[in-house]
Amino acid sequence: RDRGYPPANTLFGSSLCSDEINDTAESLVGDFQNKLGTDGVFNLGGLGGLPFVGISGMGAFIHHVPKNGKIFIVFGPHVGISDKGVVGQIERVGQESISTSCGAGIGAYKAIMGKKGESEAETYLGTKDFQEEYIIAKLSDRLDPLKGQEQSNESITFLTNKMYDLVWEMMRSEINAYTTKDDFWKEVTEVTLLGGIVVNRGHGAGVPGGEDFYQPLMLKSLTKDGESDLYGEVFGDFPALAAPHRAAKYV
């Protein structure tokens, strides 16, 4: 609000995974809605948090901004940590067995690592499951350092960081298609991008809404004059993990 993001002047979008675990009453998006005072949120994200709405969906979102308004987008993948501390697993309400989180990311990881049976993998990759197929294709070379290793907390952490890269690359490409147009800044005064990783915790029985955490990796402001890194001002410099993401240029 101190930066001029009142409810009547702000368009809020999120690009998080479509998993319902990220859309509870106490979720990150819900918290931002409460703080910003906005009535709704435009959901840009599909599997893994990638903004699969594409350029058309991004255009529809941008055209909803109030005149001389501001846009705020939160984006990134998610990963569960179970009560036993296993990265990539999470308890879910009404289920006795442990579930994966993010299922799309871990499913892609297993396909790439060859952990599916040959015929099963063929069927899996041959469907019209374009979002998952895209994730598998884009992750394939990026997971080379994990090949030959057993799945572990470290390997799923590595995977999650690569998922973040995929989300950011697609997000940057889609927004760039509009912010590079001269008339864009006639209607919009600022775009704020908050990127990071949602960590799902405590979604089992008796814990409504879960106890999720969020690791911010990027906070950028875009205006007609260029981009500014706001991360240090808001979050400080403590997470070394954020350094390369803060350095990533928008254009």
Question: Nearest-CA neighbor of 244 among 233, 234, 231?
Answer: 231
DSSP three-state, residue 90: strand
| Band (118; pLDDT cuts 50, 70, 90) | very low
Beta-carbon contacts of 106 under 8 Å, excluding residues fewer than 6 positions away, are 88, 100, 156, 159
Q: What is the mean pLDDT of residues 74-99?
A: 89
**CA 194/CA 25 separation, integer angstroms:** 20
User: Is 87's pLDDT higher than 90?
Assistant: yes
Bridge partners (DSSP) of residue 94 are none
Beta-carbon contacts of 35 under 8 Å, excluding residues fewer than 6 positions away, are none
- Residue-wise over 232-241: b if at least 16 C-beta within 10 A, else e? eeebeeeeee
Give DSSP secondary structure letters for 27-50.
SHHHHHHHHHT-S--EE---GGG-
User: Is 120's pLDDT higher than 60?
Assistant: no
List C-alpha distances in Å: 165 to 50, 110, 126, 150, 241.
10, 19, 25, 23, 13
| Band (207; pLDDT cuts 50, 70, 90) | low
Q: Which pLDDT does position 119 carry in this prediction?
A: 43
| Band (153; pLDDT cuts 50, 70, 90) | very high
